[in-house]
Amino acid sequence: MDDENERAARAKKGSPFLNTAQAAFYIGLSQRTLEKMRLTGGGPKFRKHGRYVRYHIDELDEWSKGRQQDSDAQHGGRS
């Protein structure tokens, strides 16, 4: 039994899955904003592991890269 617990602890330490608070910190949003995005859409992909919501770090990176904008785009293309 102890071997199983130790193995599980080691696996979790290197897990690519983040909970909502960790994911929000990672991408620089509030936890509440991320929760709202989960309901309304537009946020990063997430998974349900039982009753727990998890975000894969690669999908957070992908979502963030998709939101990248040029500085011209923010100002309507004006110089």
pLDDT at residue number 71: 73
Q: How many CB atoms lie within 10 A of CB 36?
A: 14
pLDDT at residue number 75: 59
Residue ranges of the chain with pLDDT lower than 50?
A: none
pLDDT at residue number 67: 85
Whole-model pTM: value is: 0.71
pLDDT at residue number 14: 79
The Cβ-side half-sphere exposure at 24, using a 13 Å CA radius, reads 14
